[in-house]
Amino acid sequence: MRIAEEKRLGLSGTYGVKTFYLECTETVTWIQDKIRIVESTADLGTDLSSVMILQRKLSGLERDLSAIQTKLDNLEGEAQQLGANHPADAKGVREKVDEIHSVWYDLKEMLKARDEKMGEAAELQKFLRDLDHFSAWLTRTQKAVASEDIPESIDEAEQLLNSHQTIKEEIDTYAPEYAHMRDYGATVTASADATDPQYMFLRERLRALDQGWAELQDMWDQKHVRLSQALNLQMFNRDSRQAEILLTNQEFHLAKEEQEQPRSLEEAERKMKSHENFITTLQANEEKITGVVQFAEHLCSEDHYASERIADKAEQIQERYRVNRERAIDLLERLRDSLALFQFLQSCEELKEWIGDKLITAQDETYRDAKNIHQKYTRHQAFESEIASNRERLGRIQEEAQLLMKDRPEDAELILKHVRELQAQWDELDRTTQEKGQKLFDANRQQLYEQNVDDIDSWMTNLERQVLTSGEEEIHDLTSVTMLMQRHTVIEDQMVQKASQVQSLRSQADQLISIDPTSEPEIVAKKQQVEERFAKIRGPLQERKERLEQQKRVHQFVRDVEDEKLWIAEKMPLALSTETGNNLMGVQMQMRKHESLSREIDNHDVRIEDILTVGQEMIDAGHERAPEFQGLCDELQQRWSVLQEAMKQRRALLEEAERAHKYYFDASEAEAWMGEQELYLMGDERGRDEQSAQNMLKKHEALEHAVEDYAAVIRQLGDTSRQLISEQHPDSEQVGKRQSQVDKQYASLKDLGGEKRARLEETLKLYMLNREIDDLEQWIAEREVVAGSHELGQDFEHVTMLRDRFRDFARDTQAIGEARVDAANAVADSLIAAGHSDAATIAEWKDNLNEAWGDLLELMETRTQMLQASWELHKFYHDCKEVLEHIREKETMLSDELGRDAQAVAQLQRKHQNYETDLKSLAVQVHAIEEREKEVLEAWRNLQRTCDGRRHRLLDSSDYFRFLNLYRDLVSWIEGILRQMENGDKPRDVSGVELLMNNHQSLRAEIDARKENFTNCINLGKDLLHRRHFHSLNIKERLILLCEAYDRMQDKWGTRWDHLNLILEVYQFARDAAVAEQWLMAQEPYLHAEDLGDSLDNVELLIKKHEAFLKSLAAQEDRFAALEKLTRLELREQERGADYKIRDAQEREQRQNARHHRYEEEFETFEEKDARSREKDERERRDKEERERSEQEKKRQEASKTSPSKGRQQSDIEGTSKAAGSVGSARPESRPSPTKDKFESNLQRKHEWESTVMKATHRSWNSFFCVLEGSSLNFYKDTKKSKVAESPLSLEGSTAEHAQDYTKRKHVFRLKLNNGGLYLFQAHSDTEMQQWVERLNAAAGGSARREREEKARTMPAGGTERVKDDGGKKKSFFSTLKRK
């Protein structure tokens, strides 16, 4: 025993040392694997993503180092223990430990160096990525700038210019990034080897970057100039087109005017006026032409790329305008000449008419009559004076004729002809007038002379009376003075005429003296008396004129003073006005009005001074009203001073208002600017990626700097407002409120800037988290590729190697993944806890990440199970192979030797017994292999059955959804057809009804075209019902609804077609009736006419006409007879009774019920058929029992009649059997259904879908104690059922099936609820899974069956009786109920 114990201790020690060596070897292999991984990162990658992937790998290695360090610590402790317990092996143990430490040190040093290189490489690769991004942006921007877009309109040019300016802003935004890359590139290339090709290439890229940046700036400037020139060109084209249109209109007008020559004076004046207006418009439009030309000169001076074309266009426009102006001036001259000619001709005609009239007067020979000879002579003298005064007209006409002949030589002959005619007529008039005067004078010279003297004397007497009494005239105002002055002017004109008469008296006196010398003294005396009185009256007239002028001056002064007072009073309200305008523009307008009023007042100052000077002169001259004049002057001076003072106050008020409104305007601009910035800051724009988010953050920083710089403007506004308040401005309170609003808005703007910065930072953090999660998901996807591998090994050794390697992979993945997933979840939780605006998105990312991680763990678990199963399979194969080899080995061990003697036979028997004992252990192995083979075959058959069922279910589901699509399309189409038939317009005439009927026929054609689709849909539904689809009830319901909708559409079409035929007949009747009524109205005047003829011919004509009327009336009888017939609509109304609506509704309801019953029978499901069959069997069984009981009752009665005692015994026996029979018949009803039995076990559950459109929130696997009770599935936390985990699930309308498509776990079945919810359950074995599937489906079916039984119990008592349908076939009440 001691030796055995020592042997056991030695073996256990050796086993511990060997195990330690094995662990050391595994650890060294582990560390060497990590070293190989680190060495595999020698290639630092060609881009940032590869570098970051390598960094993540190194980060994973660093996490693995902690596990290795723990392993080393354990090995160190174990080595010390082994060294103490086994001194002989201490050296070997220490060598192993030293070897591990050496490899471990190499790994750490290599990892440290690799980390440093990775950091530099990452920074460099980030710089290269930024450089690539910037180069790509630079190339794109250069392409955008280099695009040769030629605008075709001003809007397009402005749009291109705005887009180009946007590019400039983008360039300015990238300027800091360019400077940073340039500085960093210079730093990198300065410290690098000059001969390194990569760094040489980097230097070339940097130089190309600088060159591209400079080229981009130059290209932008050049394109900006080109676009500006293009905009100017489009503006010039617009103005030139307008100018050309204007010039074309001018040319058309001139051509039209040149073609139409005036033919009369009125037409000439009209054309002259029109042409003057045209010239005015031409001069007004000269600015437009000049503006176009100047704009063209400006563009040409700036070296515009289209300067030649612009110059040509401008030159053409200018030349056309010059030609139009010259043509207009030439046409104006011609029109003026024509007008002058027509005026000359009209003057000639007027003078001719006047000469003709005067010639008739001159040719009057009334001088032969001696009566009133003096009056005639006086009138003749006036006539001669009139002729003499009109002689100037002839002279003017002759002068005009000379000018016209000079200007219009072509019309000289016409002009000369009229002049000669006028001169001849004038000479004749002059000769006739002189002859008549001479004849009048010769007729009675003495009497005429005396009458002339008496006339002059009487006139002078009246004049002296007026002059002498003029001092007594009352002059009240300026009007009376003016009237007296006018009268005095008339007297002076009369004095001139009388002076000529006095002069003519001398010639008459000389002629009378020569004829009668004896009367010379008398004639001379009268002449001298008249001349003396005439000369004497001139003085008083002059004095009277001076006196009137003096009075006029006085009254004019008073009037001027009053006028100025009124003018001052009129201007005073404007000067005293407090209206300052509602805004800066209004104030400036008031300022301009005030300036205009000031200029007007300043210009009026001269008149005031003149009036005051006149008044002062009269005061200095000692006028009798001097005190009154002094008061007027003082009052006028005072009012003038008040007006000037009011103007000064008005100016001061406007200046104050201007300052206030200038502040309001600046404040409004500041508010508008801040409003624009607020709109930008309140926007929800977020970058598309992390880079754009960083760029937006940079832009926001620039905006924040602009807001900070705008504080100077706000401070300036504040200083202005405080100054206005300190000066006690009238609007100081409003200014203070406005300034507080500006300050609040500015503070709000800064707050919005902070909020915008926070949102952008949140967005940046979100994108960083997204990048981290994307990297992690990519890592998980890479791991899923390995975990999802279907490589299960080719033999036992291969699968053993795969299993061991996958164990290491799973251990590393779980260790690294948990750390990274926990870190990502921590960041996501921190962002959600901080109230991130995208908390829902972050939570979704987190859930997706956790789900992906859970799926990876499931895949790894599944892969582990698959490898374990494969290992067991190959181990089975391996065991089978070993057993087979062992059997063959045992078979070869059997020999044919039977022994030569009893001892040999006994020895062979003992060997054979030992051999059989060995075979027993081999038999155990063979039996195990047989059992395993049975399990595999059974599992394979179950898998094939499940696969076939899955394929059939998928096919049924595809056909079901195809049926639903067809159903929805057809129902939607039917609803559209019904809407078209219901929303038809009401016709107005027969043509409208015919149009509606044509449209209705087109609907019929469309319905017939769709009939095949209905047939296909119904056949597909019947096929699904025949295949016992699990949605049979839904399919049946939809088939019935579809058929009923189709029948309703057919009925609607037929009803509307009948209605259209009826109203067509009605409208035809209305049309015929209207025609007949018109015919009757046309014949009524004839019938009411009372004309019976006034002669035989008329009577015969009327009789023929009446006979024709009777024939026409007879011809119209058929039409009126047709109108008397009732239309079908009227006949239908007569046939209908008062309750026709109720009857129609009942008939319609009966038709619908009959159709529904027919469709219920046509689309009956197999479940309903089975239920009807079971009901029929049950009814037949009951009928049979009833017949048997009645027969037994008859037999019992007959037996009782024959033998009462035997009858009683038989009755007791029958009663016992009847009771037994009744119990037997009731036993199936009382037997509990499977759905009422409880079924419970522990299951793993995963919630996939909440409904058909929404995934479940938590989709991880959880363990529950599930209890199936009735039609509900309950969930508890443990087997004690002490605490409910979740609310129970209702199994009504649900289905359970084996989840064959779910390969991540075994023994999984799927439960689909009627609301679209979906759950996965994992049982412990296939048997348990099948039991749960059967129990769940039975529970769902039992609930549906109980619902039908409940409906059956609610039926009336006579419901089980059979009824007959229309065809006479007997049906159960249940089918009749379905029809309803």
pLDDT tens, residue by residue, 82-117: 777 777 777 887 888 888 888 888 878 877 777 766
Torsion on CA atoms 999, 1000, 1006, 1008, rounded to nearest 10: -150
Q: State which amino acid sits at residue 1013.
A: N
- Is residue 366 pLDDT above 60, yes or no? no
- With CA atoms as reference, report the closest residue to 806 among 793, 818, 819: 793
User: How many CB atoms within 10 Å of residue 481?
Assistant: 21
Segment among 64-73, 304-313, 346-355, 967-976 with least mean pLDDT: 64-73
Largest CA distance in the chain: 237
Torsion on CA atoms 216, 217, 218, 224, rounded to nearest 10: 100
Which tokens go with 192? 């690098």
The C-alpha atoms of residue 1156 and residue 919 are separated, in whole angstroms, by: 77
Q: What is the pLDDT of residue 192?
A: 65
Element (H, E) at 1161: helix 1140-1162
> What does the DSSP 8-state code read for residue 1235?
G
- With CA atoms as reference, report the closest residue to 1028 among 959, 930, 1095, 934: 959
Q: What is the mean pLDDT of the chain?
A: 78
3-state secondary structure of 1314: coil
Q: What is the pLDDT of residue 285?
A: 82
Q: What is the pLDDT of residue 1208?
A: 44
Burial class (CB in 10 A: 0-12, 13-18, 19+), 243: buried
Give 1061-1105 pLDDT, tens digit per residue: 888 888 888 888 888 888 888 888 877 877 777 777 778 788 888
Q: What is the pLDDT of residue 497?
A: 66
Give 1273-1304 pLDDT, tens digit per residue: 888 877 766 667 788 888 888 899 998 888 87
C-alpha angle with apex 261: 255 to 267, nearest 5 degrees?
115
The C-alpha atoms of residue 949 and residue 367 are separated, in whole angstroms, by: 151
The C-alpha atoms of residue 181 and residue 130 are separated, in whole angstroms, by: 8
Give 537-551 pLDDT, tens digit per residue: 777 777 777 777 777
- Is residue 838 pLDDT above 70, yes or no? yes
Q: pLDDT > 70: what percent of the chain?
A: 83
pLDDT-derived band at 364 (thresholds 50, 70, 90) equals low
- With CA atoms as reference, report the closest residue to 1154 among 1376, 1374, 1372, 1369: 1376
- Unique residue bearing structure tokens 């007594």: 472
- With CA atoms as reference, report the closest residue to 1331 among 1249, 1248, 1237: 1237
User: Phi first, then psi: what are they for 1137, rounded to 5°?
Assistant: -90, -170
pLDDT average, residue stretch 1198-1225: 45
Which tokens go with 221? 């400037």
pLDDT average, residue stretch 791-810: 82
pLDDT average, residue stretch 364-391: 64
Strands 1272-1276 and 1308-1312: unpaired
Q: What is the pLDDT of residue 1308?
A: 92
Give 556-608 pLDDT, tens digit per residue: 888 888 888 888 888 888 888 888 777 777 888 888 888 888 888 888 888 88
Torsion on CA atoms 60, 61, 62, 64, rounded to nearest 10: 90
Q: What is the pLDDT of residue 992?
A: 81
The C-alpha atoms of residue 196 and residue 198 are separated, in whole angstroms, by: 6
Angle at which helices 307-362 and 412-443 cross, to 10°? 30
User: Is the pLDDT higher at 57 or at 412?
Assistant: 412
Segment among 567-571, 1158-1162, 1230-1234 with least mean pLDDT: 1230-1234
What letters, b where the CB count within 10 A reaches 16 and e where it falls short, cover 15-27?
ebbeebeebbeeb
What letters, b where the CB count within 10 A reaches 16 and e where it falls short, cover 939-955?
eeeeeeeeeeeeeeeee
pLDDT average, residue stretch 505-534: 67
State the number of CA atoms in the 13 A half-sphere of 552 facing the CB. 14
Q: CB–CB of 1292/1346 below 8 Å?
A: no
Q: What is the pLDDT of residue 373?
A: 57
The C-alpha atoms of residue 506 and residue 449 are separated, in whole angstroms, by: 10
- Residues in the chain, overall count: 1380
Q: 1286 - beta bridge partners? A: 1275
Q: CB–CB of 530/453 below 8 Å?
A: yes
pLDDT-derived band at 1147 (thresholds 50, 70, 90) equals confident
pLDDT-derived band at 1323 (thresholds 50, 70, 90) equals very high
Query: What ranges in 894-985 are assigned the alpha helix state H?
Result: 902-982
- Is residue 495 pLDDT above 60, yes or no? yes
- With CA atoms as reference, report the closest residue to 1359 among 1379, 1375, 1346: 1375
3-state secondary structure of 1089: coil
Q: Could you tell me the CA-to-CA distances from 652 to 483, 575, 605, 660, 876 in Å, in that order?
A: 48, 11, 21, 12, 115
Q: CB–CB of 299/229 below 8 Å?
A: yes
Burial class (CB in 10 A: 0-12, 13-18, 19+), 993: buried
pLDDT average, residue stretch 152-167: 82
The C-alpha atoms of residue 762 and residue 832 are separated, in whole angstroms, by: 11
Which tokens go with 670? 């500041």
pLDDT-derived band at 1309 (thresholds 50, 70, 90) equals very high
- Is residue 3 pLDDT above 80, yes or no? no
Q: Could you tell me the CA-to-CA distances from 666 to 582, 658, 659, 671 in Å, in that order?
A: 15, 12, 10, 9
- With CA atoms as reference, report the closest residue to 390 among 350, 417, 418, 440: 350
Element (H, E) at 1285: strand 1284-1290
User: Phi first, then psi: what are they for 1255, rounded to 5°?
Assistant: -75, 160
Strands 1318-1322 and 1239-1249: antiparallel
- Is residue 1332 pLDDT above 80, yes or no? yes
pLDDT average, residue stretch 208-214: 86
Q: Could you tell me the CA-to-CA distances from 828 to 709, 816, 838 in Å, in that order?
A: 37, 18, 11
- With CA atoms as reference, report the closest residue to 654 among 731, 721, 578: 578
Q: What is the pLDDT of residue 488?
A: 74
The C-alpha atoms of residue 105 and residue 99 are separated, in whole angstroms, by: 10
pLDDT average, residue stretch 808-815: 85
The C-alpha atoms of residue 926 and residue 884 are separated, in whole angstroms, by: 9
Segment among 385-394, 695-704, 952-961, 1285-1294 with least mean pLDDT: 385-394
The C-alpha atoms of residue 871 and residue 798 are separated, in whole angstroms, by: 9
3-state secondary structure of 379: helix
Q: CB–CB of 4/10 below 8 Å?
A: no
pTM: 0.37
Q: What is the pLDDT of residue 370?
A: 47
Q: Got the DSSP string for 982-1000?
A: HTPPPP-SHHHHHHHHHHH
Q: What is the pLDDT of residue 1137?
A: 62
Q: What is the pLDDT of residue 1229?
A: 34
The C-alpha atoms of residue 969 and residue 963 are separated, in whole angstroms, by: 10
- Rama region for 170: left / alpha / beta (φ>0; ψ in -120 to 50; rest): alpha
Q: What is the pLDDT of residue 1123?
A: 77
Q: What is the pLDDT of residue 1322?
A: 92
994-998: list long-range contacts, CB under 8 Å, 24+ apart. Answer: 994/1064, 996/1060, 997/1057, 997/1060, 997/1061, 997/1064
User: Is the pLDDT higher at 1161 or at 1375?
Assistant: 1161
Burial class (CB in 10 A: 0-12, 13-18, 19+), 1230: exposed
The C-alpha atoms of residue 514 and residue 997 are separated, in whole angstroms, by: 124
User: Is the pLDDT higher at 438 or at 535?
Assistant: 535
- Unique residue bearing structure tokens 């003749």: 380
Segment among 237-251, 809-823, 1131-1145 with least mean pLDDT: 1131-1145
pLDDT average, residue stretch 716-725: 86
pLDDT average, residue stretch 531-540: 72
Element (H, E) at 547: helix 520-576
The C-alpha atoms of residue 776 and residue 768 are separated, in whole angstroms, by: 12
- Unique residue bearing structure tokens 């430990």: 97
> What does the DSSP 8-state code read for residue 1287?
E
Give 307-350 pLDDT, tens digit per residue: 888 888 888 888 988 898 888 888 888 888 888 888 888 888 88
User: How many CB atoms within 10 Å of residue 1113?
Assistant: 12
Q: What is the pLDDT of residue 473?
A: 53
Give 619-628 pLDDT, tens digit per residue: 887 777 788 8
Segment among 61-70, 365-374, 927-936, 1056-1065 with least mean pLDDT: 365-374
